[in-house]
Structure 1
């Protein structure tokens, strides 16, 4: 415990982050340390560590028989029927061919539906994805509503044929639109009713709970010339519900809620009272790697050799000491990380509110993972 606390204290003292909360749980033993302007009660923008929560909501609908993993999504998302694909990833957006098959629910969960970000950010087809859909640092109040967003996406050609390549981020946002339409609810209502309320995750949603924006930490951006810059204050973009609830990175949550979700996965989909929130099979599917060795290599910038399950990475190598085989989870662009190891019951959570400067995990995350792995 002292070592974990010292790690956070030193990183706050040297200006690495303004604040941090860290948790390491091994069975019933739980270590928590807090430092700087974050506490265990703070609300944080969890960014992409919400992707597993989004995938869980999709799998709940699979469990309920609303659709199957191999069903084409165009039944619920007709905008994505008869898609066009750039002839090669390097082709201009006007040089396209027809998609060779429909996009399936499985494609979205595996992030292999043809939409998203590759290692090469200079590809011409990425310009409209970034320019029209605001797929940069999260700005929830500046994104168009879901129907308009999906219509805009449908006008942009896919970068790869369905199933061909792993691409980052956008598939989780499409999952959000799918869950909304298949459930007949807005995404925030569907997630609250089907996932967050059954688990008792009262702090989790697409904005701070009503009257509790003061618990939300500022969001910072690193400044090489001095103190970090505040890019979103507590009363900023996450203080009110957004027009577009982003399944890829729009959730607010707390340490206890993130731990609750991780423990649900470890228990095979059960809430604390023993009720199944999702099936054990669905949890197994979430935490299994689906990428080929070549797809992992092509996505090295993001995955660093890891595989991908549904909504998160799956370690398939031991390239680093923290890579216990089978570790599942992900990192978020607001300086967050949440992982679990199904075979050992280990849970690790690190929450900061300082934006990452790229897809590579910052030194504090790696230091924390080494500590959690015991060396």
Structure 2
């Protein structure tokens, strides 16, 4: 039996179409699962504007950072096998980082640094508190050093220009100081890419093979991969960006700008990005989301046991702080993160009263750079996946707020 009023849920679909399609997003799909079954689905608009191809459950999307919850869950399967502990130093698996230091001042070639007061731990990678960063942030001298070293925008492994191995990337990072002492701050970073490299070292498998064996095949996620098969190219949604100057959506796959070469998902990458490298479909990602919900509820699933799922879905940030209270610098859209902490691979609601969204404690999820998002609600026993494909949209956060508020307003109790 569903926990939703479907008349109210239909308001959700109508609202998205009226407020956002096509003026902010060319197309979308959204589904809600309860009890391993789809209880609501809506789609509208185009997968491909030029070819007038409609969005469907089988449309393949670049999910970017929605890769992170999958890879974090994959790592927790190794945790259950006692291959690592959350408090293990990262150097247990990456000895190349034995001499990491903290950045204090100065610029390239003249960095002033301090020794670490404690080792970087595996937990710090899961929660983005390791002291790592992203080159795409382009703010600090450390960000700039990532770019200079060729550790580019790790929106997927093409950010490494396909020329460096994971070992080479690790060795490059060994030469760059951390932004801060591990554990001190939350700072979004390539930490889950590093976790992916650790999975490879522990399992002695490439990350794509490990994920196929332990996540995708058990869940029947046949369309989830690091690159699109030639037979499925027609189902891959172009990645768009709105151009104010041109007054239209630009298809970035056709753009020759070298700054956006990371958009390429047509070829097998040399390095598999655990932080942002996957493609998936609505149908596939809901298999993952509903299985993760089942794990949290103690129901049958091929992922992790209930205790592990509970461990993933509690706030692990220092002193129980939320993301806004512990962030190294102000978060973009900071008001949306009040009352939200960070678990193992995703955000977790710790104080619904502080949050702008209508939410429930332990709601867990994350989103991707091109507007995709997912969350599960253990209290209300449902999972949600939203798919679209527009980079750099200023409407993403408002849309996600609307989705959460309207879904939770449609609950029967």
Q: Equivalent residue for 2:6?
A: none
Q: Equivalent residue for 1:189?
A: 209
Q: Which residue among 115, 121, 145 is the counterpart of 2:165?
A: 145
Q: Equivalent residue for 1:178?
A: 198
Q: Equivalent residue for 2:4?
A: none
Query: How far 1:296 sits from its partner (Å)?
Result: 3.5
Q: Equivalent residue for 1:296?
A: 324
Equivalent-residue separation in structure 2 for 1:130 and 1:109 (angstroms): 23
SS in 1 for 2:213: helix
Query: How far 1:176 sits from its partner (Å)?
Result: 0.7
Q: Which residue among 160, 176, 183 is the counterpart of 1:163?
A: 183
**TM-score using structure 2 length:** 0.82
SS in 2 for 1:167: coil
Range that drifts further, 218-227 or 318-327: 318-327
Query: How far 1:123 sits from its partner (Å)?
Result: 2.1
Inter-CA distance 56–297: structure 2 relative to 1 (3 Å threshold): same
Q: Equivalent residue for 1:356?
A: 392
Equivalent-residue separation in structure 2 for 1:214 and 1:325 (angstroms): 40
Inter-CA distance 119–41: structure 2 relative to 1 (3 Å threshold): closer
Equivalent-residue separation in structure 1 for 2:249 and 2:386 (angstroms): 19
Equivalent-residue separation in structure 1 for 2:19 and 2:233 (angstroms): 26
The alignment status of 1:323 with 2:332, answered yes or no, reads no
Q: Equivalent residue for 1:369?
A: 404
What are the superposed Cα offsets for residues 153-173 of structure 1, whole Å, 9 maximum, x if unpaired? 221110111111111131111
Equivalent-residue separation in structure 2 for 1:217 and 1:276 (angstroms): 29
Q: Equivalent residue for 1:223?
A: 243
SS in 2 for 1:128: helix
Please list, as runs of the form range in 1=range in 2, the aligned pairs for 1:103-142 lying within 5 A after superposition.
103-116=120-133, 122-131=139-148, 132-135=150-153, 138=156, 140=158, 142=161
What are the superposed Cα offsets for residues 183-225 of structure 1, whole Å, 9 maximum, x if unpaired? 0011111111111111111111111235212211000112123
Q: Equivalent residue for 2:5?
A: none
Equivalent-residue separation in structure 1 for 2:106 and 2:361 (angstroms): 38
Q: Equivalent residue for 1:98?
A: 115
Q: Equivalent residue for 1:340?
A: 376
**Counterpart contact for 1:46–1:332, Cα < 8 Å:** yes
Q: Equivalent residue for 2:43?
A: 34
Q: Equivalent residue for 1:61?
A: 78
Query: How far 1:8 sits from its partner (Å)?
Result: 3.7
Q: Which residue among 6, 10, 13 is the counterpart of 1:2?
A: 10
Q: Equivalent residue for 2:257?
A: none
Range that drifts further, 17-26 or 337-346: 17-26
Equivalent-residue separation in structure 1 for 2:155 and 2:200 (angstroms): 24
Equivalent-residue separation in structure 2 for 1:119 and 1:188 (angstroms): 24
Q: Which residue among 38, 45, 54 is the counterpart of 2:62?
A: 45
Equivalent-residue separation in structure 1 for 2:38 and 2:398 (angstroms): 25
The alignment status of 1:265 with 2:292, answered yes or no, reads yes
RMSD: 2.7
Instruction: Look at both structures and tell me which one has the larger radius of gyration over its CA atoms.
Output: 2
Q: Equivalent residue for 2:269?
A: 242
What are the superposed Cα offsets for residues 63-121 of structure 1, whole Å, 9 maximum, x if unpaired? 1121222112222212221211112xx65461111222222211211221111259985
Q: Which residue among 84, 91, 94 is the counterpart of 1:74?
A: 91
What are the superposed Cα offsets for residues 339-367 of structure 1, whole Å, 9 maximum, x if unpaired? 01112112121111001347x84332222
Inter-CA distance 327–269: structure 2 relative to 1 (3 Å threshold): closer
**Counterpart contact for 1:269–1:277, Cα < 8 Å:** no
SS in 1 for 2:265: coil
Count of paired positions: 370
Equivalent-residue separation in structure 1 for 2:303 and 2:34 (angstroms): 23
Q: Which residue among 197, 201, 220 is the counterpart of 2:221?
A: 201
**Counterpart contact for 1:86–1:92, Cα < 8 Å:** no
**Counterpart contact for 1:84–1:157, Cα < 8 Å:** yes
Query: How far 1:230 sits from its partner (Å)?
Result: 0.9
